[in-house]
Structure 1
């Protein structure tokens, strides 16, 4: 029999809770937000058609009026090719205006945009196209569909408008249906929790350096900018010189990336000359962050708040946010529940505050695409099981302990790879780190550290000594491998530990 869910209290959450009601199943939902994505976009098209909506660095710039016109013509072209309500359209353009126009055009046609990972190998792409049952495929070299302008009438908030595929780190990727309501709910959460201005001036200008097929870029940036009438500035590919130049040239106000990229950015020679006076929000997630890096971000962006966040493809982006006030003192936490979700813990032992995190809310998917068995395994009694082991502190903040599958069992002692990674990241010279289990005949598993440094001559002995001062002896890595290339991560910044396990060859154990 499954263990009962222990609800996470909201008594000390710092985020506004007004405007929420609970449906017949107890799920919290917003009452006064745009009903659909088209309602969201149309209000800015009507009010500010000449305002900039989308910028592709080195490419086009689209106003809200022009974005609507272009997308409506794409919708007309898709309708001419047989796309009706609920039909799937694969969007495979590189990050830029074509991707954005194709996405909105698919929504206007009444279809479902399938956000295909453009880094996938051909067999992986073919799997997604077949799994989604795609009617129209839009590869990167294809022209945008074109036809008489068309906008579907009366879409329902519960209509699925996008399919995002999970990273597939444990087998075939799974399609996650995302509705109008989930998109809008996610955007409202971001605005509330990150204190993003709803009124024009100062205008939000977000720099998107993550691929648009990932929810971080699409849901937490592109749709949030559209929600408040701001601009999405898109980097087709991430490069640090281009990022530093864009900060000044595009008057960026809102940044989102993983801690490793921030660490490299702050040390990049061009960053010292960048004008960051307009940056108001510096957000991060996807990996542990050292308190020293948080302090460095505050110094580097003196007028910005620094925010940590945690979410999943299945939750249409963020489900917890750590506010600026807690950013340094509680850097090991991902924060409090966003207003539209309930959090719970399924205990794994006697402590009810530690166990698997479960979640429910209007932004949480109700199931996987054509995967009833996976759905039944992941969503139980209305709660989505995240697969993450967490600890809830006395204030209701969430601390990620580890993925269930990444806990290292060293001779009966459980070691959190996340905890060890956080300590490694605070060691001098370490730009990124991953902790893996190393098979051992006696102990079962031992702790191995994969270290990436952008400096020559990383002192591994000093790194291990740093760990010994901060960790119990059984948690200190007994193996270490130094790599010269950045650690493999998916588009959202999650470490691809399955790839690392195949790549890393461990040497002799450390003394």
Structure 2
């Protein structure tokens, strides 16, 4: 498999590459960054102890000094409960200061924080607790552990600091060990690619509306703010009125969420007259975005740069970033490789620019937790196989064509479900769309679409006409179901297609 990898050159990458050196295996690593998460936090506790670190809307406000002191007491409490180096602690609090204190407290205790999906059913939770071998479980109603302050001495950059579980859209979720180096590398990549301030007097204030058990919220917001000495403002639950108010009252400068939330926010009555002039960065990812929505974000946040990002749990968040300059014209692209990540393509055929995306770097996991077979199938020769099919243009920009498993084979013609979804999302009146293969005795599969209307209804004739103008005939959906509830997505914004498949009932084909 290795000999088929076509590495992508970095000649046109727009992001700074200084300070990177390749190790003996050829992997690029940052030479002059904090070694561990504790080093990251400590520097701000010492330099600006009274600056706000974490705010829970409707709850506590913690300075850097308070965050360190409180987390150290949580660490002491965990040690009293028997947690030692490498022991796993399940963090099951809702988004807020308790989650943050449990995370940092576990790291200070030398343990491994297990970020458990709070939306999971009890059998799913029990699977994760057993799979991770959790020593201490912190469910939502449990008090924070408390004890004499403790901070582990000299953790190593290669130590695992947390376990995040994949979404489990097929089969059981898999634990992804994330090291101190992976977290720090991911943070350094983000501030370089997004142009975020890095000085210790940072005015970065990010509004976290995604659950903290997801890498977008934890790695790309909470820990980014900590990396530059900024402030994380946390919403315990998504509320568009509260989100709009918080942008103003909390002086938010950095927004990250999925396209569907932005689309709803821009239509919300409270947003129409909101002063959002302080927002400097509007980032999105997790799902395709329509060009009209990108342009609408530019107009709604006139002082901000808009940027697309693509990443995975296995890569501690971002792999690629599409900068503001390309945001509208190349809105179907996820951009260029972040500085620390090498990217390659395993071609599907004779075209070396089309194939499965593979990645390697210090922020890329070395394998799954206690899953040697899954690791062997996914990480080969140091390269992680993402399962995403991509096309690379002449400038080096990456476009995700589809997941390998979501390609629809219609009578020998491959149809990208993502391509069709992108066209549907740009159709009039469509707020969300999922494209699936529908079994067919003659063609093998035909193209099916599940649509959610922006105002509860969909003009199907107009949508299909829109598709016919933009897609080859064999790609235009032949089965369409319009639903009255938003389509199910995981915390990272990805469609839960298995759930949709089990719920949808296809009628007769349209042609």
Give the CA deviation at 1:456.
3.5
Q: Distance in 2 between matches of 1:346 and 1:202?
A: 41
Q: Is this contact kept in 1: 2:201–2:229, CA < 8 A?
A: no
Residue 379 of structure 1 corresponds to which residue in structure 2?
379
Equivalences for residues 198-277 of structure 1 within 5 A: 198-200=198-200, 203-277=203-277
Distance (Å, rounded) in 2 between the aligned partners of 1:493 and 1:288? 10
Q: Distance in 1 between matches of 2:349 and 2:148?
A: 61
CA distance in 2, matches of 1:198, 1:294: 27
CA contact (8 A) 1:454 1:484 kept: no
Q: Does 1:106 align with 2:106?
A: yes
- Asked if the contact 1:84–1:109 (Cα under 8 Å) also holds between the matched residues in 2, the reply is yes
Alignment of 1:177-192 (within 5 A): 177-192=177-192
Point out where structure 2 has 5 or more consecutive residues left out of the alignment: none
Matches within 5 A, 1:11-160: 11-160=11-160
Deviation for aligned residue 1:485: 1.1
Question: Could you tell me whether the CA contact under 8 Å between 2:358 and 2:386 is conserved in 1?
Answer: yes
Greater alpha carbon shift after TM alignment, 267-276 vs 138-147: 267-276
Per the alignment, residue 480 of structure 1 pairs with 480
Contiguous gaps of at least 5 residues in structure 1: none
CA distance in 2, matches of 1:202, 1:39: 17
In structure 1, C-alpha distance between the alignment counterparts of 2:319 and 2:172, rounded to whole Å: 24
CA distances 1:287-327 after superposition (whole Å, capped 9, x unpaired): 11111111100000000000000000000000000000000
Tell me, yes or no, if the aligned pair for 2:202 and 2:230 is still in contact at 8 Å: no
Q: Distance in 2 between matches of 1:492 and 1:149?
A: 34
After TM superposition, list the pairs within 5 Å mapping 1:156-167 onto structure 2. Answer: 156-167=156-167
3-state SS of 2:4 partner: coil
How far apart in 1 are the matches of 2:180 and 2:128?
Answer: 22
> 2-side partners of 1:202 and 1:455: how far apart?
41
What residue number does 2:510 align with? 510
Q: Tell me how many residue pairs correspond in the alignment.
A: 511
CA displacement 1:467-498 (0-9 Å, x = unmatched)? 00001101111111111111111111111000
Q: Are 1:3 and 1:347, in contact at CA under 8 Å, matched by a contact in 2?
A: no
Whole-Å Cα distance in 1 between the matches of residues 238 and 193 of structure 2?
26
Pairing of 1:455-494 with structure 2 (within 5 A): 455-494=455-494
Deviations 1:337-367 (A, max 9, x none): 0000000000011101100000000000001
Deviation at 1:202, TM superposition (A): 5.7
Large movers: runs of 4+ above 3 Å: none
Alpha-carbon distance between aligned partners in 1 of 2:510 and 2:73, rounded to the nearest angstrom: 62
Q: CA deviation at 1:201?
A: 5.5
How far apart are 1:244 and its partner, in Å? 0.9
Report deviation, 1:2. 6.0
Q: Is the 8 A contact 1:378 1:385 kept in 2?
A: yes
Q: Deviations over 1:193-220 (max 9, x none)?
A: 0000112566111010110000000000
Residue 340 of structure 1 aligns with which residue? 340
1:444 partnered with 2:459: no
Decide whether aligned partners of structure 1 residues 119 and 456 sit closer, same or farther in structure 2, where only a CA change above 3 A counts: closer
**Cα distance in structure 1, aligned partners of 2:40 and 2:76:** 20
TM-score by length of 1: 0.99
1:320 corresponds to = 320
**Contact 1:488-1:500 at 8 Å conserved across structures:** yes
Q: Is the 8 A contact 1:452 1:482 kept in 2?
A: yes
